[in-house]
Amino acid sequence: MTDFVKTKDIKNSWLLIDATDAIVGRLAVFISKTIRGKNKSTFTPHMDHGDFLIIKNVEKIKFTGNKFKNKKYFKHTGHPGGIKETTPEKLSSKKPEEILKLAVKRMLPGGPLAKKQMSKLKIYKGDNHPHESQNPKEIFLNQMNKKNLLRR
């Protein structure tokens, strides 16, 4: 018989990640697993028991290779001929947090649960964030794997 976790038994923690020189894809994989709760032994696909994540210095995030200039993001306005195209280079000047948000969103399954899980992701430009009272535990990406940070 399978034991399922009850909603009252779920404990969410707050984690802080500094995105300086972090590679977008590797950071997005870690974030998507953490906000879904796949890093916990009590993971259940239909429940939301992931942790809250605070990402700071998102404007200093890096791409490998030529993706910063050549990668394309598409969206459609819903009108005929309404396809819009942008690159990370253009997005980083206007909304740098959107690059990471798009990468994480596309790694989550679709539906209402993914929308609820995305609300656990807090992305900020610079070092300041309004979540000091939650006492977030800092996560160091370079200690997990040296490839997580781009050093040039």
Tens of pLDDT, residue by residue over 30-40, are 999 999 999 99
Q: What is the pLDDT of residues 106-148, one digit of tens each?
A: 999 989 999 999 999 999 999 999 999 999 999 999 888 888 8
Positive or negative, the CA dihedral 97, 103, 108, 110 is: positive
Parse the chain into domains and list their residue ranges: 14-64+97-148
Question: pTM to 2 decimals?
Answer: 0.91
Q: What is the pLDDT of residues 53-85, one digit of tens each?
A: 999 999 999 999 999 999 999 999 999 999 999
**Mean of per-residue pLDDT scores for the chain:** 92
Strands 73-76 and 14-18: unpaired
> Treating both helix axes as pointing N-terminal to C-terminal, what angle do 96-105 and 24-36 enclose, rounded to 10 degrees?
60
Indicate the class that CATH gives domain 14-64+97-148. Answer: alpha beta
Tokens read off for 125: 């430009």
Instruction: Enumerate residues 6+ apart whose C-beta is below 8 A from 94.
Output: none
